[in-house]
Structure formats: C-alpha cells, structure tokens
Structure 1
C-alpha cells in the first residue's frame, strides 16, 4: 500500500470514525503487514479543566499524584486518534477484535497544560505468534517543536495469522509483567465508581457498549459492564503511596476487567531502581485485573540493552 497521511484540524469526531468499523476489513496478509498510515491531530491540547476532571475520575479529593496522572492524561484524551486509525478502511483487522493489553507511557520533557500541541499515531511494529497477532502503535505528542510525551500501545488480535514473524523493534512494555504477592497487605481498597460512564467515553472517544451496559456485557460473556482500563489505572495512581521523585514512565499490563461496583484491592511494592510496581485485584479473581510499574527514569529500550550486551560480550 502507498503511504497514507490523515490530518485532523480538530478533535476526531466519533460519528465520523466509528461507522467505518462496520466496513469490511482488508484482512491480514503477512507480506503486507500493517499499512504505512500516520494520523495527526493538530491543535490537540490538555486543558487545566480536563486535568481536574481526570483527578475527579481518579477518585481522590486531594490529588497528590499529578505527575503520575500527567503521564496518563494524553493516553486518555488522545485515544480517539488511535480509534480513528484502527477503524480506517485501510486497517487490516476489525477493531472489535482488538484487545488493548500493554501500554508504555513516557514523559520526555515538560508537558504544558492549555498549550497547542500536535498528536500523531502510527503502527511501528508487529509480531505474529501461534495464537495471535500483536501490533505496537506509537503515539507522539509535540509541543513547541519538541516531543514531550510518547506511548507504545500494544493491541492483540486472537486467532491464527500464519507463520511466526517479527517486524520492527519492540519498544513497548515487556511481555511479562511484574509479580506481586497477593497476600501482602493492601495499600488501599475502594469500590470501582459506577457512574459517569458516558462522560468518560466522551473523554476517550471509545463508546464500546461493554463500558456502558451490563446486559450487553453479559451477552459478550462478561460478568457485567466495566470501565475503560485507563480509568482504572487513574484510580490506582491516585491511591498509591507517595514515593520519591516524579515518575517519568508508566508501564501497564491489562489482565482482565474490573467491574463497576467491585471492591478493588491495590498492592504496591518498591522496585530496585527506585520506582514502584503495583497490582489491582477484584473479588473472585486470583490474578490481578491490572498491573503497573512506575519508573523515576526512562528505561533503556530493549534493543539498546541487547546491543550493549552484545558489545560487552564481543569486547
């Protein structure tokens, strides 16, 4: 396929991109892979008012983790640009088959509120496994000509897509999440907020009925409706015990739903590098619904670590 560039002068409208999810998808072909498409949102910005709304959704009256929430804010408010990419007729697979299951969010410089910015997203890598396909979507936020935030969102499609292959370098969160002791004392417990479902959908542009309607969620095999994982992650960040310097990187592993109204239990453990690992459990589940790692410094990309290790072995 020829390169494709699509520019939005204002916020991508859900009524514009979501109907395209009903169009037939071209289908996956290994020799073609993901299309060379870049979607750009001009005049994107995170307002002070939006940050106040996110603090409210996080469930903390006096929010002491603004630095951590700022890592998450572009992922929430810019997610509709990713939705526009995944629903485009050039995209090889239907969006309803996509599962968002790993995220790496990095703060690369000072992120200014109310500042005109440019947000862009494109596929940067993909991997075919025996039981599915992983695609890494790279999003970048630019302010005043510099990239101040970026993310790698890894989406997963179940199924068989041919022989195993790997394209591009994997810079996202590792495939294996940290392991926390489920018997350790919790740092916080709260009930997952059951209200304002439409309001959070408007923030993300994601109106999946599983985040809105329990009856639909039951039909899809779930125990009930559940919030967007970004909303659950914000609640986790708001309840973590404050530690040290502001974080620069957040890795998230989405393991399963945390249903509306469920009693959430959060556990936290220090990392050797000065950061924090955390995990959220809900009743009836042995494994956590969400696992995360907060880093005080940017982690070195795995490809750089591998090259460094190779140079050391050859020295």
Structure 2
C-alpha cells in the first residue's frame, strides 16, 4: 500500500507530515485535505511520494488538468504538495516545480438583509439559529463556527476568540450584543437538554463530546434557505460573504473588515467591493454633476 494511504497503520512519512501540520496549528479539516492530496500523488506515482522527481510532478499536474480537475482544486493540491515538499521533505526545489493556475474569481452570492432575516427565522431549532447567527453576526468560516467552544465567548470584552482560523491563525471576532443574547438563550436550553458543558463545544454534534460537523451546518443553511423561499444557491460561507458586504455598505473601513474576517491579504477583502451594491449607488457620477441632461430640457428627436 502507498505510504500515505493507510489510516490504520500510520507510516513514519505520514506521521512526519501530520506533525509538521500540527506544529503550525493547521485545522483538522486542512490536515485531512493535505493528506488526501499527497495521497493522490502517491496513487498517480504508484510508489512513495517522497520519491517523486521534477518530471513526475510535471506529469502529475498535466494529467490532473487533462482529467478535468477544476482549477481551484488543482491549486489546493499544489498548496498541499508545496507544504509536503518544502517542510516535510525539505525539498523546496521540487516545490518550485508546482504551478498554481490563474482563474477568474466568480462573484460571491450575497443575501440582502431581508433574506438573512428570513433565513435565520426559518431555522428549525435554537441551536441551528444560533450557529447560523454566529456565521453571519461574526463573519466566521463554517469550520470556525463548528470548532467554537463555550469558553471562546468573551462577554466581558464582547469578543469571540477564534483559536484556529485559516492557516492556524488566532484572532478575535466580533460579538454583537444581540448575538450574545441569543447565545445565552442557547446555553440555557442546551444545559436543560444536557448537551452543553462549560468546557465543551458551543455547538455539540449528535454526540455531545464532538462538535457539529461542517457538513451538517451546510445542510442546515440549505434547508433554511429553501424554507425561506430564497432561490439563491447558498451555503454557510454565504453568510460570511453577506457579513463582509453589509459592513462595507455601512461604511466600515476595509482594513477593519480584513481584520474581522482574518484575511491575510487585503486583496481578498477588497473583492467584496464588487458586490457591495449599496456602496455603488451612493456614488455620484461626474456626468450628473455636469447638469447637461435635466428632466424636460431635451427636445424629442
């Protein structure tokens, strides 16, 4: 069997990769994806991935592209393999052979404030409403919502501590007063149901000792959107997109939004300017200031 494929007997190479990722506080989901993508290379080679040559990597990328693998997926594979060759194998020369592909980013789906209200009202229980309200009210990623613990809610400073955001980075997220009220209601109900512990998960899964899954959160959003008669294709990340866009439309500085979202690059936050329609509508065109075409002053042709 390939070195990174068996989960039952962890090989030294697989363990080194896991240790390198754990050292950098990569999320469980990121670790799982990186192991899967390195395993994809092992399957292609038919041998251990640490024996790959520059020509092997070139053939692998060509084969993946010809097989119709989407560009975002290809780039995710490149990120995993670059990490593997740079940090686990100390072969940055091979990492440089891996090419990221440019592709046009599609505009994110954003809900109106009315649609957000309808979606949250359409949830079937307090736990679901609270989880989706965190995604929108604090702008968290779905994995960040799932990983929250009760102790991450800092009501004294009105902050949510995000311990393992993207890339393993820590940050403080916004804790709106209304969201705190909702979370306190959920805490009371969760305690009555026997699923909430002071040192436990904020949103327990079916087993109280495990957090709610990101897949379950996605299903909750989809079902709530359907119940709210929202035709747009939505997921948990749609609430994060809406959070950022609505802040931008309210005039919040883009660098503040960057910090709240946990973006490493400002260009990722600036992308929301393309969907902030209220911001566009507030701009006065220089043509209007010329005063050439006032109502009733143009003779019919």
Q: TM-score, normalised by structure 1?
A: 0.25
Q: TM-score, normalised by structure 2?
A: 0.26
- 1 or 2, which has the higher helix percentage? 2
